[in-house]
Amino acid sequence: MTQALDFIQPNWPAPENVKCVSTIRAGGVSLAPYDSLNLGVHVADNIEHVQLNRQRLAQYLPAQPLWLNQIHGTHVMHATNYKGVCDADASFANTANQVCTVMTADCLPVLFCNTQGTQVAAAHAGWRGLLDGVLENTVDEFDQADQVMAWLGPAIGPDAFEVGQEVKDLFTAKNPAHAACFQPSNNANKWMADLYLLARLCLLAAGVKQVYGGEFCTFTDESRFFSYRRDGVTGRMASCIWLTD
């Protein structure tokens, strides 16, 4: 192993056989503005550097991650059907050593497992995915929603994510309770959106009551996280979850 990587380890009461990691931006070989553990092949970084970064991550995993082509949609890919990179924004597994993985750089990564330690999932949730139901679709893959727990990984925080009036209107039309997730911005007809609270409300509506994490801000914590909203051209982190035998 060439270099030890630092990870964010979810602080949640997952079963012992559920393993997960969330990468930070340090520890790779990519050069600025992708410095340094960029795992995204779609952001115009040197592809050889990205492959080296992915190899470094893979040393900590039981198998290659199930990489997705994320399109801000709601499709959940079942790991048993994985035939290579496909268009999806979530993946689900119920057998060991299938590494459900999503990439983010402000959007919200959500990791899931059931209390029995037999099912796991990972979802990529930007505001469009949250609105359209990517989290609800992911929960639907589990046998019992009330036995599911979720961890909210690093995303843009509520004091940094400004959106337009149309975004607030879409969410409040879906659920009036979503109004609590928007605070007035200093700019006219703009609102500060709380992705974490939106996710919690979506998960609660889907029957998930055990929700953890949500204390990060990719925008303000530049030393640890990539942020598309902050930098425009930047890398991607990965959040991975899998079952062991």
93, part of any domain:
yes
Element (H, E) at 127: helix 127-132
Q: Which residues span the domain enclosing 224?
A: 7-157+202-243
Determine if the pTM surpasses 0.85: yes
184, part of any domain:
no
pLDDT tens-digit map of 26-67: 999 999 999 999 999 999 999 999 999 999 999 999 999 999
188, part of any domain:
no
CATH assignment at residue 226: 3.60.140.10
CA distances from 27 to 30, 49, 122 (A): 9, 12, 23
| Tally of domains within the chain | 1
Give me the chain's average pLDDT, please.
Answer: 97
189, part of any domain:
no
Q: What percent of the chain has pLDDT over 90?
A: 98
116, part of any domain:
yes
- pLDDT tops 70 at residue 91: yes
Handedness of CA 67, 73, 76, 80 (dihedral sign): negative
217, part of any domain:
yes
* pLDDT band at residue 4 using 50, 70 and 90 as cut-offs: confident
140, part of any domain:
yes
